Amino acid sequence: MVIQKEEASDLEVSFWLDNYNDLFSDFDHRSYVHRAISDDFLIEARKFTGNKNGDRLELQFLIPKAKRNKNQEPIIKKRLQEHFKRHYHLLLHEHYQMRKRGLTMAGSGLILLAGATVIAIFHQSVILEVVMVLLQPAGWFLTWMGLESFFFRSHEKGVELGFYEKMNKGKITFHGY
């Protein structure tokens, strides 16, 4: 169960956990230092933090007092922070590369279209006519695919990037209930 509390600049999200394993993958039985984060946890975290505004995020994990192990909590907290930081930086790089690739494709397409225009103005041979016919669809394809990548695909990546940015900057606490 997730509880949310929002204020002007804060977003506090509490997760009720049966035990610490709820945060980690059921298929990974390594120690908490190396264990994979649960997809179910990440999906729930996205639901409750992804579209919320707030400068500071606080994730509170509520554990039954009988199952709480304060020695494990710094290890788990560090593992979660490492995961969020790593994915934030990976997505930041991917987002930048996607936008860069989109601009490169769009620019290349415009150059091809300009070349086709020059050939259309000055064409005097069948070979140039054939080249023009090849340049036009390639130019349009590269231009539109590049713009689509720059604006739409990078926006989708930006949404995920925003989630990991919030999680990376967020504060993680454990409490008993």
- Amino acid identity, residue 153? R
8-29 per-position pLDDT tens digit: 446 788 899 999 999 999 898 8
Helix (H) or strand (E) holding 104: helix 73-122
**Distance of alpha carbon 18 from alpha carbon 111, whole angstroms:** 59
117-151 per-position pLDDT tens digit: 988 888 788 888 888 889 999 999 999 999 999 99
With 0.95 as the threshold, say if the pTM is over it: no
